[in-house]
């Protein structure tokens, strides 16, 4: 393939994927992008796999029509459930956030004790575990549930010499959107959610949800300075760069890159919260209709 000036498509259930877009801007500042946040149907994290796949296919159809050269699923939940189906159906490269995060976790861990946090859907799907095992050619050997109440519940998943602890932290999404990332409520919530995982002494923790990088400081404060946090957003942007270079698909023209945004609900809230996530202005935003509920 020759050089390619078409935009990169980035898809998320809403605002959170802007953490991935922000890293793409940093790592690939010359590339044009089209971002779609399915704000009318967010959250995906508490929906069934079938629904998430259906939504993702509708979003992909819209973005492919915009002439994108590569499709980034910035949403962890959509990556967990729809990556395979999207790879099968689209004729362009499709990248999810799970594999890059899984790879980085394997590289980072010394003690082979890894924590993974995400939405209920991502945790239920075991997709980070499957990705970590697939890279290492291993299988799940045992799953144990810990904790009594749902707030305390976390899972211990063993395969060979690796032990992985997973925990759904759904309230982190609301905290991040509210901008409560450094106050007492955020700290208390993080302490509650991470209590079990911390006790297990992982040396690496994967932030398996678009919103969690915004809460990095609080999460690190709770887990302690020795726990390495893996930001899937950064790892995914690096992978996108690698794929563009390998396929000779980088933008070549000197024209200023375009940054387009689409949402499925009214843009006001997206712009307000999104500019904080993105750390820059959002212009060129449009509301679109892509499907039912």
User: Per CB under 6 A, does 76 bind ligand DGL?
Assistant: yes
| Three-state secondary structure string covering 244-271 | HHHCCCCCCCCCCCCEEEEECCCHHHHH
Name beta bridge partners: 95: 72
Show contacts with ligand DGL in window 163-182 (CB under 6 A). Answer: 173
Q: Which two tokens stand for residue 192?
A: 């509650």
List helix spans (H) across 73-126.
Answer: 76-89, 98-108, 120-125
Q: Which residue is nearest to ligand DGL (CB)?
A: 45
Catalytic residue flag (residue 75):
yes
Q: Which is nearer to ligand DGL, 81 or 162 (CB)?
A: 81
Query: What's the closest the beta carbon of residue 251 comes to ligand DGL, in angstroms?
Result: 26
Catalytic residue flag (residue 169):
no
Q: Is 29 exposed, middle or buried (0-12, 13-18, 19+ CB in 10 A)?
A: exposed
From 7, 9, 37, 43, residue interacting with ligand DGL (rule: CB under 6 A)? 43
Alpha-carbon span 77 to 97, nearest angstrom:
9
Q: Which two tokens stand for residue 37?
A: 């946040």
Q: Which two tokens stand for residue 56?
A: 């993702």
Show contacts with ligand DGL in window 122-151 (CB under 6 A). Answer: 122
From 9, 16, 100, 101, residue interacting with ligand DGL (rule: CB under 6 A)? 16
Query: What's the closest the beta carbon of residue 253 comes to ligand DGL, in angstroms?
Result: 32
Q: Are 76 and 13 in contact (CB under 8 A)?
A: no
Q: Which is nearer to ligand DGL, 100 or 249 (CB)?
A: 100
Residue tagged active-site, from 8, 10, 70, 75: 75
Residue tagged active-site, from 42, 92, 95, 209: 209
Alpha-carbon span 113 to 158, nearest angstrom:
10
Residues lying near ligand DGL in the complex (CB under 6 A)? 12-14, 16, 42-45, 75-77, 119, 122, 173, 209-211
Give catalytic residues, as residue numbers: 75, 209
């Amino acid at each position: 393939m020759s050089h390619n000036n078409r935009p990169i498509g980035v898809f998320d259930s809403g605002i959170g994927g802007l953490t991935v877009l922000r890293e793409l801007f940093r790592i690939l500042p010359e590339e044009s992008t089209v971002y779609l946040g399915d704000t009318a149907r967010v959250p995906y994290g508490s929906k069934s796999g079938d629904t998430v796949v259906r939504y993702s296919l509708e979003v992909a159809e819209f973005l492919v029509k915009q002439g994108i050269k590569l499709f980034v699923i910035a949403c962890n939940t959509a990556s967990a459930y729809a990556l395979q189906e999207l790879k099968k159906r689209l004729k362009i490269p499709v990248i999810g956030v799970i594999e890059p995060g899984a790879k980085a976790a394997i590289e980072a861990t010394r003690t082979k004790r890894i924590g993974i946090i995400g939405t209920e859907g991502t945790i239920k799907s075991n997709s980070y575990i499957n990705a970590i095992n697939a890279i290492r050619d291993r299988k799940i050997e045992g799953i144990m549930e810990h904790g009594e109440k749902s707030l305390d519940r976390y899972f211990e998943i063993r395969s060979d010499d690796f032990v992985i602890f997973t925990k759904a932290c759904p309230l982190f999404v609301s905290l991040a959107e509210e901008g409560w990332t450094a106050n007492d409520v955020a700290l208390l919530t993080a302490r509650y959610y991470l209590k079990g995982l911390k006790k297990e002494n992982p040396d690496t923790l994967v932030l398996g949800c678009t919103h969690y990088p915004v809460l990095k400081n609080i999460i690190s404060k709770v887990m302690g300075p020795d726990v390495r946090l893996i930001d899937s957003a950064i790892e995914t942007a690096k992978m996108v760069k690698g794929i563009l270079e390998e396929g000779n698909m980088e933008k070549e023209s000197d024209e200023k890159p375009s940054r387009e945004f689409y949402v499925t609900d009214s843009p006001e809230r997206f712009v307000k919260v999104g500019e904080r996530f993105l750390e820059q202005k959002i212009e060129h935003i449009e509301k679109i209709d892509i499907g039912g509920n």
